[in-house]
Structures are given as C-alpha cells and as structure tokens.
Amino acid sequence: MSAEFKKFLAEEKRLLQEKGCYRQMKTMDGASQAKISLNGKEVINFASNNYLGLANSNLLKQAVIKSLNEFGAGAGASRLLSGNLALHEQLEKILAQFKKTPAALLFNCGYMANCGLLSALSFRHDIIFSDQYNHASIIDGIILSRAKLIRYPHKDMAELRKLLIQNQQHRAKRFIVTDSVFSMDGDIAPLRDIVDLATEFEATVIVDEAHATGIYGKNGHGITELLDLEGEVDIQMGTLGKALGGFGAFVAADSLVIDYLINKARPFIFTTALPPPAIAAALKALDIVQNRPDLRDTLLQQANWFREELKNIGFNTLNSETHIIPILVGENEKAVQFSQKLVDAGIYAPAIRPPTVPQGTARLRISLMATHKMPDLEKALQILVKIGKKIRLI
Ligand SMILES: Cc1ncc(COP(=O)(O)O)c(C=O)c1O
C-alpha cells in the first residue's frame, strides 16, 4: 500500500470518528433471536429484522437440512447457465401467487434487486421520483441507471404532484419509487395516493416491501394488500431475509417486466443463483406466513403496545406506525452513548446515524419480533426510562 493511500485511509477514519459516524461491527455469539449474546453479554435483541422469529425456527432448519441433503450447498452457476433449479422456479411461482402478480423473479438480496431493477428499467433521459427517505439500495440503483433523480420530501404528495406537473412535458419514462414501510422511521408510504398520481401522470410505480413482506395485510402479502392495492402497483420488490427469516429477494410484476429483467438486469445475470437451502427456507417461511397469522398478529399487537408506552413515557418515536420504532435522539454522540448504556443494562438497540438518517436526527432503531416475551418488553421499558432520564432525553 502506498504511503499516500495509507494517509488517505487514516484521514477518512479520523473524519468519521470526529463526526461520531465511525461504524464498528458487534459480534453476536449465536443465532438471530429475541435474546442474544452480544460480545458475551445476554441482551434483549431489538436490532433484528427477523421479525417473525423464523430464522432460527425448527421448521425452517428442517426444511434447509432436507434441501441441503437433496440439492447440495450451492446452485453451482448463474440462473442463465446451469444454476436454474426447479426449486427456484417453484419459489418464483409461489411468490407470484403470494403477490398476486403474473410473474416473479428471484434476486440474491434486496440490495441487488433494487440495483438491478432500477438500473435495467431506466436510462439517462428517464426520470425517477424517489421518496427522500428511500433505502440506499434504491438510490444506488437510480445512480447506476443514470436517470434523473428527483427526490420528493418524505411522503409529501402535494410536492410530488408539483414535481410531476413540472416534468410533465418530458417524453421519457417516469417512475415513482418508494419503500412501503420506511426502514429507519417505521412509517408507511401513502401508496393509494402514489398509485393515483402515477395513473394521472402516466408513471410506473415501484414499491419496496422489504420490511412489510410476511407481516402486513390479511395474508401477510405486504402494504399493497393492507391498502387494498393488489394488482394496482406495477412492480413490487420484497426480501426473503427479513420477516421470512432466510436470505434473498424477489421482484413481482407483469411477465413482460420479468422477462425484460431476466435479459437486462445485471445483478440477476452475472451472479451465482441463490443456494438451494435459501430457496427451501423461503418456501417453508411462505408456508408458515400463510398458516400462522397469529405470528404477525402478536408482532403487531406487541409493537403497538410498546410504541404507545414509549410515547407515554415521553420518547419521540417520530411517525412510526409499524413494528419499527425509532427513538429520536438528535446528536450522533448522544445516540451512541444511549445505545451503549442500554447494552450495559441488557438491551441492544443500535444507534442509527447519518448518512443512514438525516443530519441531526440520530436515533435508536427498535425493531420488534413476534418472539419477544412480554416480561422482557416490560423490563426493556423500565431500563429505557431509567437511562433516558439519566441522559436527559426524557
Ligand atoms: C427498504 C429496504 N430495501 C432493501 C433492503 C436490502 O435488502 P437485503 O438485506 O435483502 O439486501 C433493505 C435492507 O435493509 C431495506 O431496508
């Protein structure tokens, strides 16, 4: 490594530390579950997207072991070479049924799905209207596409309308893209209004259901189901690695879109197919979602209760209305300090700082799991009050 390059890296690290934005990984000693061992200490886990507790469930483990014995550890090639197992196609068929779309296509993770989808569908002269708080993978997909990115203020439909009017003369393709559940705020996009605006201005709607798949709607299909919009959202993306407990992602849409992606989406084409155990886990998880509505009911009931308690205590949970509950802190250092004190007291709620969230809005991100036990949630509230007071947040 050249001395110049070393100097550059050291300076970058110093700057991140100075801003309170330096990131370090923490080590979990076991499986992802409601209580974990963090650097050797048992803590209540509020940092997992394993919302239904499926990642470490016996049912998923058994399905994975069975498929491992039958199909092996890896697919061996990309889907377009010899990696396309009947298992992949079976899962895609079930995902399309689940999302009530004509077709679906697997991607290796949500990040790749968003990058692949957006960069394949749009080009330099197209316009993408994107909610200010959309996930980084959406932004990166837009950057890859080289389309014009127009960020609209978070959930501000009046402003989106204005921007659509301003760009109405544009002859190229228009897209409106949004998370359905926002990953750091825990609020829900106004999808009905977005779909109506898209119809009026001839735009294509892309919705990222990463944090909603398996949880929202009568059958767990997502916010599109909750808001009665199945069949009205053009393109949906979902992940298999959060509530579904495994790994991977998918895009569900019209067959024309899916065929196009098979031919054009580089993160689909140029990578090894998802391994059979990941497919088996997703198949089993979808089966559980269909047959165990009590899991999502428990998750949402507990989340509603926990959020109301936090608000009553005096914490600012922003506009959360889901199982993702932020506690606004403000300064980066204070959020890190809060999080560390909580770990010491037996709770893991990570501090989220810029650039993941806007400057001055550092926060703790609490995500609930269906497998959290009520006594643990009650204990967590007591600890949050005690430390919240100590650091003068409440
Ligand atoms: C809204 C959103 N979209 C996409 C992703 C990426 O999904 P994956 O973890 O499967 O890459 C995430 C992950 O955190 C997310 O929060």
Q: What is the DSSP string of 131-143?
A: ETT--HHHHHHHH
Do 114 and 233 share a structural domain?
yes
Burial class (CB in 10 A: 0-12, 13-18, 19+), 33: middle
Index of the ligand 1 atom closest to the CA of residue 248: 10
Range of the domain at 311: 31-55+293-390
What is the reported pLDDT for 189? Answer: 98
Q: Above 80 in pLDDT, residue 170?
A: no
What is the rounded average pLDDT of the residues 216-222? Answer: 97
- Residue bearing the CA closest to ligand 1, atom 10: 110
Q: How many CB atoms lie within 10 A of CB 221?
A: 25
242 is catalytic: yes
d(CA 151, CA 161): 12
Helices and strands, number each (H, E), in the chain: 14, 13
Do 325 and 271 share a structural domain?
no
> Is 7 among the domain residues?
no
Fill in the DSSP letter of residue 388.
Answer: H
As given in the structure block, the two tokens for residue 105 are: 């296509």
Do 264 and 122 share a structural domain?
yes
Do 232 and 339 share a structural domain?
no
What is the reported pLDDT for 51? Answer: 98
What is the reported pLDDT for 275? Answer: 98
| pTM, full prediction | 0.96
Range from 40-44, 96-100, 222-226 carrying the lowest mean pLDDT = 40-44
- 210 C-alpha to center of ligand 1: Å? 6
Q: Above 80 in pLDDT, residue 16?
A: yes
Residues in the chain: 394
- Residue bearing the CA closest to ligand 1, atom 5: 110
Q: Is the peptide bond before 355 cis (omega within 30 degrees of 0)?
A: yes
Nearby residues of 100 by Cβ (< 8 Å), 6 or more positions away: 221, 230, 231
Do 190 and 47 share a structural domain?
no
- Given the residues 99, 135, 155, 211, the one annotated as active site: 211
Average confidence score pLDDT of the chain: 96
Domain count for the chain, please give it.
Answer: 2
199 to each of 161, 175, 222, 339, how far by Cα in Å?
12, 11, 21, 44
What is the reported pLDDT for 39? Answer: 85
Q: How many CB atoms lie within 10 A of CB 243?
A: 32
What is the reported pLDDT for 265? Answer: 98
> Is 382 among the domain residues?
yes
Do 183 and 139 share a structural domain?
yes
What is the reported pLDDT for 366? Answer: 98
32 is catalytic: no
Ligand 1 surroundings by CB, under 6 angstroms = 109-111, 114, 135, 137, 179, 183, 208, 210-211, 239, 241, 249
- 125 C-alpha to center of ligand 1: Å? 27
User: Which of 269, 291, 313 is the endpoint of a domain?
Assistant: 291
Which three-class secondary structure state does DSSP give residue 101? coil
d(CA 280, CA 287): 11
- Given the residues 67, 180, 183, 320, the one annotated as active site: 183
Do 297 and 160 share a structural domain?
no
Do 238 and 140 share a structural domain?
yes
């509230």: which residue's tokens?
381
User: Which of 291, 318, 345 is the endpoint of a domain?
Assistant: 291
> Is 263 among the domain residues?
yes
What is the reported pLDDT for 57? Answer: 97
What is the reported pLDDT for 171? Answer: 76
For position 134, which CATH number holds?
3.40.640.10
In tens, the pLDDT along 295-340 reads 999 999 999 999 999 999 999 999 999 999 999 999 999 999 999 9
Amino acid at 73: A
As given in the structure block, the two tokens for residue 296 are: 């999502």
Index of the ligand 1 atom closest to the CA of residue 183: 16
> Is 162 among the domain residues?
yes
User: Which of 250, 274, 291 is the endpoint of a domain?
Assistant: 291
> Is 211 among the domain residues?
yes
What is the reported pLDDT for 232? Answer: 96
> Is 10 among the domain residues?
no
In tens, the pLDDT along 57-83 reads 999 999 999 999 999 999 999 999 999
Do 236 and 184 share a structural domain?
yes
Q: Above 90 in pLDDT, residue 30?
A: no
The string of DSSP codes covering 44-89 is: EE-S-S-TTS-TT-HHHHHHHHHHHHHH-S---SBTTTT---HHHH
Choosing from 239, 240, 324, 356 the residue with most ligand 1 atoms within 8 A of its CB, the one to mutate for a pocket test is 239
Q: Above 80 in pLDDT, residue 164?
A: yes
> Is 4 among the domain residues?
no
Which three-class secondary structure state does DSSP give residue 324? strand
- 385 C-alpha to center of ligand 1: Å? 31
Do 248 and 322 share a structural domain?
no
Q: Above 80 in pLDDT, residue 389?
A: yes
For position 369, which CATH number holds?
3.90.1150.10
> Is 245 among the domain residues?
yes
What is the rounded average pLDDT of the residues 9-18? Answer: 95
d(CA 265, CA 284): 27
Choosing from 109, 112, 135 the residue with most ligand 1 atoms within 8 A of its CB, the one to mutate for a pocket test is 135
Do 120 and 45 share a structural domain?
no
Confidence of residue 352 (pLDDT cuts 50, 70, 90): very high
User: Degrees (nearest 5) of the Cα angle 145, 136, 74?
Assistant: 85
- Residue bearing the CA closest to ligand 1, atom 7: 110
Do 181 and 267 share a structural domain?
yes
Range from 26-35, 102-111, 198-207, 244-253 carrying the lowest mean pLDDT = 26-35
Contact yes or no for 392/319 (Cβ under 8 A): no
d(CA 132, CA 149): 11
